[in-house]
A and B are shown apart, each in its own frame.
Chain A
Amino acid sequence: MTLPKLYRLLISLGILVLLILLIKPFTNEGSPEASYPGKPIKIIVPFKPGGGSDRIARVLDAYTKEEFGSTFTFVYKPGGGGHLGLRFLANTKPDGYLLATYNTPDLVLGHMTGIANYEQNDLVVLGQIAFDANVFATSQDSPFFNMKEFLREARKRPGKLRLGISQPKGGNHLATLAMIDEQGIDISVVIFAGGTELASAVLGNQVDVGIGGLAPFHGSMKQTRFLAISGDKRLKIIPTIQTMIEQGIPMNSGTGRIILAPAGMATFQLERLKQGLKTIFDNDDFQADLRKVGNEPSWLSGEEVTAYLEDFQIKAQKVLEKTGL
């Protein structure tokens, strides 16, 4: 390389470095104002857009401007049943501007089944805002009218009936296997990849009965027949349907929708978020909006959720060992 060329190279590099140094101070992502949050908070939805978690987060988003001053910025990170996105959250610096939405009890199930690859203690639950009960559903062509009848038939014809499950290794998968084991029936289990797939399968008679969340059936209530609610409380939307417990079958499973934050955030930030979340929850319009997207508003504080999960973990451990999931 000739000398003038070398000079030009060095000068060009020098100018570039200078430019970088000059521009650098202006590139900070807007410093937050005095009161937290002050700038938009990013929320991770660890699933594909359009799903149940996404819809709930969007309902929440409609109220965040009023409460926190700005709307959420959505970040979609599907994978690993949601645990990939949570792992990202767990490994980020807890600067108070990144949250995630997820579900119980899948939050702890992921660790117990080995799918999650981060420390459980790296995440903190801010609170639960909705609860989606699990229901047993069939199409209107079905000969069954409640789960007792179904189980009776299953005993008569072992292995001949099909039960669909909406998600592998999720809360209702575990609870269903436990129930099958406890009732001592032999039934063919078919696993689907999500509540929407299960709803199609149930309505299309691909399975004799399916268990999943209620939300995917919202658009086809007239063609769906519900056999039971997996839990101890009846649902307002389908008031005549009995619960499993009422039918004498002990089973209680459902999906709680929670908001998570990375552990290690400043206390004042955590408190502000928790308080803000509760305020939004107490808003009647918010609850109405939640119902519009097929979820039932149900509040649990972060501590209550953690306590429930600890309890769940103990029970679930036994079931996992038995079923070998």
Chain B
Amino acid sequence: MELLLPGFLDLLDPQTLLIMALAIVGGIVVGTLPGLSSVMAISLMLPIAYAFGPVTGLSMLGAIYTAALYGGANSAIILNTPGTPSSLPTAFDGFPMTKQGKANQALYAALFASVLGGLFGTMVLIVAFEPLANLSLKFGPPEFFFLACLGLCAVAAISEGKVLRGLLSACIGLLIALIGQDPVSGDVRFTFGIYPLISGIEVIPALLGLFSLSQAMKILEAKGSHIAPYASEINLFGKLEKKLRQSWSILLRSSIIGSVIGILPGAGGAIASIIAYNEARRTSKEPGKFGKGAVEGIMASEAANNAQVSSSLVPMMGLGIPGNVNAAVIMGALMSFGIQPGMGLLTNSSDIAYAFMASLIVSNFLLLGIGFYMVKLTTRVLLIPSNYLGPGVIALCIVGAYAATYSVYGVWVMFGMGLVGYLMLKVGIPIGPLALGLVLGPIAEKGLAQSLQMAESESSLLSFILARPISMALIVFCLVALFAALYVEKKTQQAELLRKEQGNG
């Protein structure tokens, strides 16, 4: 801990702080714009990071990463499009809030939750990255499979009451995720002769199409002149502060979930926010309001995905094994400065390591300040008439899909998924679960295939799983989540019946 102090002092250089502030602004913009990912921004800034030297350079990259994961909430809330896959659950409650005129509340809630989650995750990183890195190794293929299953248990939460159709939608997503190269066997499948499908239906353009394009088409069809009312709420911060204090358990739980899942190499931010969202709903006293504009949903999702930012650096710094693509690129930057991440980090380059970790704390505070003012800009989007916003969003989606995949094929993926999403909206099948299936499918498949391969060396699949305590724990979590979902459904139906009777009586 004492080592942190010199780390902070390193950062007090005004040039570093200015660059970090600019990085936060850039990161928020990148996160907000659909199709742009934090990875792209970080990769792009790599040469500039080298030029600035290790402390400033790494701080800049960390700031971009932090801000971008928050930025995704903006487009999720205002446009119903997750700017990054990790903000997927934020859209489920964020957009309904916008439609209800509460966009401001939603955006500020997302900001505060992100910062709180980020600070929590960073504290976890600083205090325990070495033991946690070793812990993360205990997660093997079976654990990842059950983790994905746990994520899929959130389907019930986002099916808008139509659970069976929600399951169908999730299965469609899982099916689409099958297209392309099998991640484990390398076999090419389900491409039906169209070669570019070998890279599969990539998540970012697919989400763009599914949510944003279908939403834009709906906007253009709708009668209203604007997508949602733009209203200033009175005593916004008073209400929000009260909400935050009441929801401290949700924030804590989501931050823990985000931190735990973040340290698992390959898990990713989306699983973290999805599971956090589901858990928040499960433990809430009014689960029925989730999906209709519950600010708690936003807080759960955003706290988790920002906690995940710092914890994804845990295996990278502890073992040199990056937790996700962002961590991988940052690791590359570390290595090019001659710093070897892993066991030697604290012995050989502790000053830079601690300065970097300190910079993550500073980034979160900068995010709070800068994000606060940028929210005002973001809500102004609601002032744009739908006639202009609709086509504008379509154009943005198309360019975003191209940027995310460097090819026109990505744009067609977006287009195709947009059509699918639009049809599903028309026909009354929820599209949220499809996104869930698409994102979690590859993790589930890899987990299953590799587990089956591993089980060949054991006497039976059952004995193999029973011998793994983490898997058993996850299975228990899944069962709890499933029963809770059924219970919530029952209660919601009863409440609906009650309301109808009271309305008629």
Contact = CB atoms under 8 A, between A and B. Distances in A.
Contacts of A76: 43, 406
Contact of A216 (B138, B320, B456): B320
A167 B182 CA distance: 11
Given A188-B454, A220-B342, A193 B183 contact: yes
B47 interface: yes
Interface string B310-342: 000001100111100111110110011010111
A50 B333 CA distance: 9
B265 A223 contact: no
B138 A204 contact: yes
A320 to B, nearest CB: 13
B196 interface: yes
B186 A207 contact: no
Interface residues of B, number: 59
Interface in B137-156: 137-141
Nearest to A169: B186
A238 B329 CA distance: 26
A61 B343 contact: no
A48 interface: yes
Interface in A132-165: 159-162
A161 B182 CA distance: 24
A74 interface: yes
Given A50-B331, A199-B321, A84 B196 contact: yes
Interface in A180-229: 188-193, 196-197, 199-201, 203-207, 216-223
Contact of A190 (B137, B327, B454): B454
Given A62-B50, A200-B265, A204-B137, A81 B43 contact: no
Nearest to B135: A204
B424 interface: no
**Max chain A C-beta neighbours (<10 A), residue from B319, B327, B341:** B319
B39 interface: yes
A117 B342 CA distance: 39
B343 A219 contact: yes
B188 A114 contact: yes
A50 B329 CA distance: 4
B139 to A, nearest CB: 7
Nearest to A208: B457
Contacts of B342: 218-221
Contacts of A71: 47
A114 B186 CA distance: 11
A49 B328 contact: yes
Contacts of A221: 342-343
Contacts of B454: 162, 188, 190, 206-207
B457 A161 contact: yes
A203 B137 contact: yes
B199 A201 contact: no
A168 B335 CA distance: 27
Nearest to B142: A206
B35 to A, nearest CB: 14
Interface residues of A, number: 62
Interface in B176-209: 180-186, 188, 195-196, 198-200
A88 interface: yes
A296 interface: no
B289 interface: no
**Max chain B C-beta neighbours (<10 A), residue from A71, A191, A199, A221:** A191
B453 A191 contact: yes
A290 B405 CA distance: 28
Contact of A196 (B50, B136, B198, B322): B322
Contacts of B229: none
A115 to B, nearest CB: 6
A37 interface: no
A219 B329 contact: no
Interface string A81-114: 1011001100000000000000000000000011
A49 B319 contact: no
**Max chain B C-beta neighbours (<10 A), residue from A81, A84, A87, A200:** A200
A61 B47 contact: yes
Contact of B199 (A80, A196, A217): A80
B265 A197 contact: yes
Nearest to A61: B47
Interface in B195-252: 195-196, 198-200
A52 to B, nearest CB: 9
Contacts of B186: 81, 113, 115, 167-169, 191
A162 B451 CA distance: 11
B39 A219 contact: no
Contacts of A162: 453-454, 457
Nearest to B329: A50
Nearest to B139: A204
A249 interface: no
Nearest to A160: B457
A135 to B, nearest CB: 15
Given A162-B457, A204-B138, A59 B198 contact: no
A220 B320 contact: yes
The 9 closest A-B pairs by CB, nearest first: A219-B320, A219-B342, A79-B199, A50-B328, A168-B186, A204-B137, A169-B186, A206-B140, A50-B329
26 contacts: A48-B325, A49-B42, A50-B43, A50-B322, A50-B331, A55-B336, A75-B406, A84-B196, A84-B198, A159-B456, A168-B184, A190-B450, A191-B184, A192-B184, A196-B322, A197-B265, A200-B266, A200-B321, A201-B141, A206-B140, A206-B141, A218-B335, A220-B320, A223-B343, A292-B338, A293-B332
